[in-house]
Amino acid sequence: MKQAGQAAPAQSARLLRWCAVLSIGALLAHAIDAPDHLREWWGYSTFFVVVGAFQFFYAFLLLLQPWRYDESGAPGPGALRYGRGYFMLGIVLAASVPAVYLVSRTTGLPFLGPEAAAEPVTVLSLLPVAEDAVLLVLLVRLWRRARRT
């Protein structure tokens, strides 16, 4: 049976893996939707590529957890607390995707000029938003857990 001290790191490791899976899932949904947006305007597709690249590298960052290791390469004590900055970066960027989605589906993106109109809501467009929303919740949990350590 696991001790209370062992359960928290195991649960944090599980949360990190789920965050990585959600980030890759959102990347795949963005990659599938990018060609349709490229036909509309090159700026949309550029946004999808940039967001997708971040989600790809962020997922691997969460899996590798470079903050866990000390100078000798061994796992360091209190490693979760050193991940707080990485978690906050993910929180900010995971929150920005639903925010941009909301604006693009209600008023349209204002920097596109007067011809910018609201885009239709589709199942494929909702998928990365839903994944980013769950990712956001899990990252907040990790950040709060890291803050307590």
**Residue-wise pLDDT tens digits, 31-81:** 888 787 777 777 777 888 888 889 999 999 999 888 777 777 777 766 677
> Is residue 14 predicted with pLDDT exceeding 80?
yes
DSSP 74: S
Which pLDDT does position 87 carry in this prediction?
Answer: 92
| Number of domains into which the chain is organized | 1
Q: Is 100 in a helix, a strand, or coil?
A: helix
Q: Which domain holds residue 117?
A: 4-148
Are 79 and 88 a contacting pair, CB within 8 Å? Answer: no
Q: What angle do CA 52, 56, 61 make, to 5 degrees?
A: 140
Model confidence band, residue 91 (pLDDT cutoffs 50, 70, 90):
very high
8-state DSSP, 69: B
* 99-133 per-position pLDDT tens digit: 988 988 888 777 665 566 778 888 888 888 999 99
**Nearest C-alpha neighbor of 49 from the set 66, 37, 31, 61:** 31
Could you write out the DSSP letters of every residue in 32-51?
HHHHHHHHH-HHHHHHHHHH
* 2 DSSP 8-state letter: -
